[in-house]
Amino acid sequence: MQDLQTTLVILVIMTFCGILIAGSTNKVVVYFDTNDLFISFMPWGSFFIGMLLVNIYHHGNETLDYDNLSFMQSLFFYLSVAASIVFLAWSIKLSIMHNRSIGIGLVVGLFKILSSLLGVVVILGQISSILDRKSSLKDAFVAVFIIGMLVWLGKKLINGEQVYISKGWPLPRYET
């Protein structure tokens, strides 16, 4: 069982690196445009907002009991889960559509979902370290550098037009 887990972790890391390289060299469309990038972060954003609203409607000093939520708390919880699922499906649909392949689109879509989750966790951790009273100026510079690298990488992976041009595909026309 341990060997299977190790093999799966190695496979996921290799796939992650492969898509990162393929996206950086314009072999596959990772994010067609900034809207596509935004949509891939929205599952986590909508869930975060929903959990924030659940906590805002929490009364008292006791720990939040998810088995005993009020109507409004339950409503916000289920709406945020539903919105997250819609955004997850939308992100994968865009990957399939922009790569013109179900297989590649599914793999790239999963990459987008996992990398956006990783990005959110890293960015929140870095912001937390900046806001920590015990952090030094060096810690703040490291956090800003890491966030800057993630922003640069995100911009680098917005490559839809370049991939379409390099493959000779006509650019999609969107009604405005």
Which residues of the chain are modeled with pLDDT < 70? 61, 174-176
91, 92, 87: which is closest to 45 by C-alpha? 87
Of 85, 110, 114, which Cα lies nearest the Cα of 99?
110
Q: Could you give the residue ranges of the DSSP H alpha helices within 132-159?
A: 137-156
What are the CA-CA distances from residue 75 to residues 1, 47, 131 (Å)? 40, 13, 32
Instruction: Kindly list the domain boundaries of the chain, sorted by start residue.
Output: 31-161
pLDDT for the residue 154: 92
Q: Report which of 32, 1, 10 is spatially closest to residue 158, judged by C-alpha positions.
A: 32
* pLDDT at 175 (0 to 100): 54
pLDDT number for residue 140: 83
- What is the tens place of the pLDDT at every residue in 82-119? 999 999 999 999 999 999 999 999 999 999 999 999 99
